[in-house]
A and B are shown apart, each in its own frame.
Chain A
Amino acid sequence: MRHQETIFAGFGGQGVLFAGQLLAYAGMSEGLHVTWIPSYGPEMRGGTANCTVILSEQEIGAPVVSHPLSAVVFNVPSLAKYEPLVRPNGLLLVNASLIAAQSAREDIRVVYIPASDIATELGNIRIANMVLLGAYIAATDIVSLDAAKAQLDEHLSDRQRKWLQPNMQALDRGAALVR
């Protein structure tokens, strides 16, 4: 059964919530049940931001999980918080540009992606979220990369439209590092 529970976590402004939303849109376009729930405490402003995304063939019960199957961590505090929580045999995706530390977990798959560096190379450090999402999709296969791209085209705000192609490239670059 296709099923994923993922926490995306980082600083406010890194596009953590949008990466999760895009995954939810892609899952929905492929006929999966989806939930997206942000942490919405007052800590969001300038502090940490995270969201939990569940995609499943089955109707979704709990929209939050204490031990996710996957975690995508954008910064050091998020690694510290979520590394211990990922379920055994799960996936930990690390933004290696901002996180120098290596994970000590041996019972999970850990993938290091220099997402912020690649994003900078593509012309905008803020699209590191798409590099990580591309890598996540390649690692989990929960949705197709094409579905994510189609949804990106549909849901990128007008203000960000000029960054559509770099965003697409970011998804590809992230995916290529995992495949």
Chain B
Amino acid sequence: MAKQLLKGNVAFAEAAVRFGLQAYFGYPITPQSEALEHLSGRMLREARVFLQAESEVAAINMVYGAACCGVRVMTSTSGPGFSLMAEGLSYIAGSEIPVVVVNMMRGGPGLGNIQPSQADYFFMTKSAGHGDFHPIVLAPASVQEIIDMMGLAFELAEKYRTLVLIAGDGSLGQMMESAELPPMQPLPALRPNWAVTGADGREPNVITSLYLVAEHLEEVNLRLQAKLADIRQHEVRFVEAQTADAELLLVAYGTSGRICTSVMRQARQKGIKVGLLRPQTLWPFPAQRIGELCEQVRGILVVEMSAGQMLEDVDHAAGGRVPIRFHGRMGGMIPMVDDVLADLQALATSLGLAP
């Protein structure tokens, strides 16, 4: 396929269609509504299911139901809508069914605004609902990467029978970039054998998150935790740039991550030996690699569009071995290269690394 100029929201929606999305249920909210607009026509033309629900609560429960039936299903939303979905997300996690949810984060808390943000990090990685679970959380930094990650999201969701979240932000949703869509892929031929498909000639499949006997529920939890440990071991993803000789390390994801690419280039021109680690999975988090790099670098600068949420995971990974500085913007503000560079230079100076 040739490259096209695509808006992030349209790109992930179209990518989902091409990766075999069978049903979409959602409720419009800025800054991701273009996804619904695109899918409303596209899914109907493909004779697949598109439904605008009456609320995000309804949408996530429709997604839950469709996933129980073994079809490839997703929804997408932004902050306030994601909050409304939390109960359903926990049911989905407890029921161990594959579901993909895109959250194009916007400024909060509360109604906040419609500008880009990364302040749903805690919510998405640590407590997307009640109970003990983690979704897999993917963090794209470009229109091309959100396209590619739609395919990965369905693959991981189905492989582990788990909830996969895509952590985008408003600017990624609204930005146009040249990117290549995958070719149209066939829909899954069969529904999985655990799905609720009508029990003619076989024992009924039961999908539930309700276990009234404590011993049974603990067993379910132990199985879930074993699966999460497996995911933690095998699905950590990140991109590293110029770390080979780095004395300083930038850690940032998504839009902040690509901003740090520019920071790194400019800092290198000034003679500052800095590298970048950009997590592509926020859960599981590349803690081990950051720990290894702490044996090499003298200091870390974490950049986020939040008050410092991933910062806590970096801090934990670093274990006090190197000083960590933080550059954060909130309320829909995007970190600017000049400002981050100034912070990086200050860190270099404080460590006696200024060229």
Q: A residues engaging B (CB < 8 A)?
A: 21, 24-25, 28, 33-38, 40-42, 59-67
Q: Is the C-beta of B178 less than 8 angstroms from some C-beta in chain A?
A: yes
Contact in complex: B174, A37 (CB < 8 Å) = yes
What residues on B are CB-neighbors of A38 within 8 Å? Answer: 174
**Residues of chain A within 8 A of B259, CB atoms compared:** 61-62, 64
Q: Which of B158-166, B279-287, B331-339, B346-354 lines the interface with chain A?
A: B331-339
Pick the contact of A66 from B114, B261, B336 — CB < 8 Å?
Answer: B336
- Residues from chain A with a CB closer than 8 A to the CB of B30 are 40
Q: How far is the CB of A61 from chain B (nearest CB, A)?
A: 3
Partner of B171, one of A21, A63, A67: A63
Q: A34-B5, A63-B171, A63-B177 are in contact. List 10 more A-B contacts (CB 8 A).
A: A21-B176, A28-B178, A37-B176, A40-B114, A59-B261, A61-B260, A61-B263, A62-B259, A64-B334, A66-B339
Evaluate whether A41 and B265 lie within 8 angstroms (CB atoms) in the complex, with A36-B175, A61-B259, A62-B258 already known: no
Please determine whether A65 and B170 come into contact, CB atoms closer than 8 angstroms.
Answer: no
For B334, list chain A residues within 8 Å (CB). 64
Across the interface, do B3 and A28 meet the contact criterion of CB distance under 8 Å? yes
Q: Enumerate chain B residues within 8 angstroms of A24, measured Cβ to Cβ.
A: 5, 176
CA distance A34 to B6 in the complex (A): 11
Pair B114/A41 contact, Cβ less than 8 Å: yes
How many angstroms between the C-alpha atoms of A25 and B338 in the bound complex?
28
Instruction: Give the docked Cα–Cα distance between A33 and B176 (Å).
Output: 11
Please name the residue on chain B nearest to A20 by beta carbon: B176
A sample of 9 cross-chain residue pairs with beta-carbon separation below 8 angstroms, ordered by A number, consists of A21-B5, A28-B3, A34-B178, A40-B30, A40-B174, A41-B114, A61-B264, A62-B262, A64-B334
Query: A25: which B residues are within 8 A, CB to CB?
Result: 5
Among residues 12 to 62 in chain B, which have CB atoms less than 8 Å away from a CB atom of chain A?
30-31
Give the residue name and chain of the A residue nearest to B258 (CB): A61
Interchain CA distance A61-B267 in the complex, whole Å: 13
Q: Is the CB of A37 within 8 A of B171?
A: yes
Complex CA distance for A169 and B7, rounded to whole angstroms: 29
Across the A-B interface, the 5 shortest Cβ-Cβ residue pairs? A61-B262, A61-B261, A36-B176, A62-B262, A62-B259
Query: Whose C-beta in chain A lies nearest to the C-beta of B262?
Result: A61
Flag whether B78 is at the interface (Cβ < 8 A): no
User: For residue A66, which residues in chain B have a CB less than 8 angstroms away from its CB?
Assistant: 336-339
Within B149-171, which residues are at the interface with A (CB < 8 Å)? Answer: 170-171
Contact with A along B127-141 (1 / 0, CB 8 A): 000000000000000
Q: Taking the complex as formed, is B77 at the interface, i.e. its CB lies under 8 A from any CB of chain A?
A: no
Chain A's closest residue to B170 (CB) is A40
- Contact of B95 with A by CB under 8 A: no
Chain A proximity of B268: nearest CB distance (Å) = 12
Of A35, A36, A62, the contact of B337 (CB 8 Å cutoff): A62
Taking a contact as CB atoms under 8 Å apart, the answer to whether A42 and B177 are in contact is: no
- Give the CA-CA distance A66 to B261 in the complex, in Å: 16
Question: Which residue of chain A is the closest to B174 with respect to CB atoms?
Answer: A40
A63–B257 alpha-carbon span in the complex (Å): 11
* Most chain A beta carbons < 10 A, residue from B3, B171, B178, B258: B178
Kindly supply a per-residue 1/0 record for chain B positions 248-275, scoring 1 wherever the CB is within 8 Å of any chain A CB and 0 otherwise: 0000000100111111110000000000
Q: Which of A35, A42, A59 contacts B175 (CB 8 A)?
A: A35
B115 at the A interface (CB under 8 A) = yes
- Kindly provide the distance from the CB of B179 to the nearest chain A CB, expressed in whole angstroms: 10
Q: Which residue of A lies closest to B266 (CB)?
A: A61
Cα–Cα, bound, A29→B323 (Å): 45
Partner of A37, one of B175, B178, B265, B339: B175
B31: chain A residues at CB < 8 Å are 40
Are A28 and B5 in contact, CB atoms less than 8 angstroms apart? yes
Q: Which residue of B lies closest to A51 (CB)?
A: B176
- Nearest to A33 among chain B residues (CB) is B178
* B5 and A64 contact, CB distance less than 8 A: no
* Alpha-carbon distance A64/B337, docked complex (angstroms): 9
Q: How far is the CA of A40 from the CA of B114 in the complex (A)?
A: 8
A65 with B176: in contact, given A28-B3, A34-B5, A37-B171 (CB under 8 Å)? Answer: no
A95 to B171, CA, bound (A): 28
Across-interface contacts of A28 in B (CB, < 8 A): 3, 5, 178
Docked complex Cα distance between A81 and B202 (Å):
70
Query: For the complex, what is the distance from the CA of A25 to the CA of B261, rounded to whole Å?
Result: 24
CB closest residue in chain A, given B175: A37
Inter-subunit contact A34/B262 (CB<8 Å): no
- Do B261 and A63 have beta carbons less than 8 Å apart? no
Query: How long is the Cα–Cα vector from A139 to B181 in the complex, in angstroms?
Result: 34
Residues of chain B within 8 A of A61, CB atoms compared: 258-265, 337
Query: Which A residues lie within 8 Å of B337 (CB)?
Result: 61-62, 65-66
Tell me, rounded to whole Å, the shortest Cβ–Cβ distance linking A82 to chain B. 15
Q: Are A34 and B258 in contact (CB under 8 A)?
A: no
CB distance from B224 to the nearest CB of A (A): 38
Cα(A100)–Cα(B337), bound, Å: 33
Give the distance to chain B from A143, nearest Cβ to Cβ, in Å. Answer: 14
